[in-house]
Amino acid sequence: MNRTLATTYPDARCELDFDDPFQLLVVTVLSAQTTDRRVNAVRPALFAAYPDPAAMAAADREALETLLGPLGFFRAKTEALLKLSAALVERFDGQVPARLDDLVTLPGVGRKTANVVLGNAFDVPGITVDTHFGRLVRRFGWTEETDPVKVEHAIGALFPKRDWTMLSHRVIWHGRRRCHAKKPACGACPLARWCPSFGEGPTDPEVAEALVKTQGPA
């Protein structure tokens, strides 16, 4: 199934834009309860104004809120970025740490965000258990666990560590493009022959193909 996903989504990657580990950490925190596309739209102005943790920690709150306004929950997200940036400056000399145990001590950073940063900014393998990933691995019958940490460990035991980051991207892309929560495109799914949940969505190829998205959510 992983090999088939690799063939189906050869361009699978993190859909958040970033230039360095700090940017990736920030945009991943911002992506909660909004879409990657919206975060990517505010990213250039955000980092033009605040290019590093020291600058962001010293940001004027109202100015930062204005930049984050299009994302929704902008006051909470402003608070999160101010605390996160201050912690990076005070405890890590303004550098994003490259260890899971350090990353999860930062305000607003859990294992999911930490694994995104490790896998995509530092090439340290990690499994990103977002809502798509958790939903799909249960549909696939790979695990029955619902707790994200337990899902992470269960799936990690099934695949070589070197595959973890790309596996995460491929499963998430599949969830965004074909294996939708409410109406999966079963009849247009390359994993159909192995999937125990085949039939949860339309099995007619033409009907299913109409459900397939060419990109992630707007």
Q: Which residues are catalytic?
A: 112, 130
Burial label for 160, CB within 10 Å (0-12, 13-18, 19+), is exposed
Phi and psi at 144, nearest 5°, equal -105, 0
Cα distance between residue 127 and residue 148, in whole Å: 10
Buried b (16+ CB within 10 A) or exposed e, 178-188: bbbeeebbbbb
DSSP SS3 for 1: coil
